């Protein structure tokens, strides 16, 4: 990310602090479940955009001949190299000016990144540029139209209208910005960029401390499997996954 970097993870142990030391196994498993359903089984050159330390690398390493993890944080990319060695290549840079040639990749994914992006349209244009015709992009978009956000708005605890297509900037979460998008807004960008949408999934449908305590992670993961497709038409979850394809020329 650039243009006043929203989240600079340089010097921050994201792996340890956000994932290893926190109760996020359900969220991790929900992400992996969706990726397995959407990513092509065979790819030549693939990039994990905003892939950090490679949390999800085991989901694509066997699917691609060449793997690149891109991120703004050199700290995270160094961790990725320590973990995966020569199995990956790393590239650091600005998501709005990706360090890839036109049509260099035949597959990519971008997970848990859009909430850092003020300019979603610019990011999608870059993803489209670097993808080969016929290539697949699996993108997760942070959803502003969820039940908890509706409840907070109705009860006056939040001024962010979840039904409005206006981009939500939750400055109470991050003073530099933490962005959520209405699905229709995101899908207008997807369509105007030129992508064809092949599949949509609703992911992390039961992301709640209360539900984790009540049902347990193992049971929530079982429930998640069927819910991802079933709840996709109403764009229910905080994470909406899109399988996009760049049209053949």
The proportion of the chain whose per-residue pLDDT surpasses 90, expressed as a percent, equals 86
pLDDT given for residue 76 in this prediction: 94
Q: Which tokens is 62 given?
A: 């066997």
pLDDT given for residue 146 in this prediction: 95
Contacts of 84 (CB under 8 A, 6+ apart): 54, 57, 61
Confidence of residue 175 (pLDDT cuts 50, 70, 90): low
**3-class SS shares of the chain: helix, strand, coil, % to 5:** 40, 25, 40
CA–CA separation, 127 and 134 (whole Å): 13
CA–CA separation, 242 and 22 (whole Å): 27
What pLDDT, in 10s, does the model give residues 70-81? 999 999 999 999
pLDDT given for residue 176 in this prediction: 63
- What's the whole-number mean pLDDT along residues 109-126? 96
- What's the whole-number mean pLDDT along residues 26-36? 97
Mean pLDDT of the chain: 93
Burial environment of residue 96 by CB neighbours within 10 A (0 to 12, 13 to 18, 19 or more): middle
E-strand spans in the chain? 43-49, 64-71, 89-92, 105-110, 131-142, 168-169, 179-180, 196-203, 239-245
pLDDT given for residue 70 in this prediction: 98
**Helix axes 183-193 and 120-130, enclosed angle (nearest 10):** 40
Helices (H), 17-119: 25-38, 74-84
Strand partners, 97: 94
- Whether 84 shows a pLDDT value over 90: the answer reads yes
Confidence of residue 139 (pLDDT cuts 50, 70, 90): very high
- Whether 192 shows a pLDDT value over 70: the answer reads yes
Confidence of residue 28 (pLDDT cuts 50, 70, 90): very high
Backbone angles phi, psi at 154, to 5 degrees: -65, -35
pLDDT given for residue 229 in this prediction: 98
- Whether 58 shows a pLDDT value over 90: the answer reads yes
Domains of the chain, with CATH numbers?
Answer: 14-245 (3.40.50.150)
CA–CA separation, 216 and 237 (whole Å): 18
pLDDT given for residue 18 in this prediction: 83
CA–CA separation, 147 and 181 (whole Å): 14
Confidence of residue 149 (pLDDT cuts 50, 70, 90): very high
Confidence of residue 17 (pLDDT cuts 50, 70, 90): confident
pLDDT given for residue 11 in this prediction: 74
What is the DSSP-derived secondary structure letter of residue 188?
Answer: H
- Whether 114 shows a pLDDT value over 60: the answer reads yes
CA–CA separation, 242 and 236 (whole Å): 14
């Amino acid at each position: 990310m650039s243009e006043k970097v929203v989240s600079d993870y340089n010097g921050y142990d994201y792996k340890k602090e956000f994932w290893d030391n926190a109760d996020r196994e359900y969220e991790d498993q929900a992400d992996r479940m969706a990726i397995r359903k959407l990513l092509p089984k065979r790819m030549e050159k693939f990039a994990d955009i905003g892939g950090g330390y490679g949390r999800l690398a085991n989901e694509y390493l066997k699917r691609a001949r060449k793997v690149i993890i891109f991120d703004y944080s050199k700290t995270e990319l160094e961790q990725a190299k320590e973990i995966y060695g020569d199995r990956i290549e790393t590239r650091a840079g600005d998501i709005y000016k990706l360090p890839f040639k036109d049509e260099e990749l035949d597959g990519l994914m971008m997970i848990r990144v859009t909430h850092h992006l003020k300019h979603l349209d610019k990011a999608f244009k870059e993803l489209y540029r670097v993808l080969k015709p016929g290539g697949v992009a699996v993108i997760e978009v942070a959803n502003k139209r969820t039940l908890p956000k509706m409840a907070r708005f109705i009860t006056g605890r939040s001024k962010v209208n979840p039904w409005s297509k206006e981009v939500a900037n939750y400055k109470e979460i991050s003073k530099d910005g933490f962005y959520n998008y209405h699905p229709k807004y995101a899908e207008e960008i997807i369509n105007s960029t030129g992508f064809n949408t092949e599949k949509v999934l609703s992911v992390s449908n039961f992301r709640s401390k209360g539900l984790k305590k009540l049902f347990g992670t193992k049971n929530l993961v079982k429930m998640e499997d069927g819910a991802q497709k079933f709840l996709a038409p109403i764009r229910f979850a905080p994470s909406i996954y899109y399988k996009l394809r760049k049209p053949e020329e």
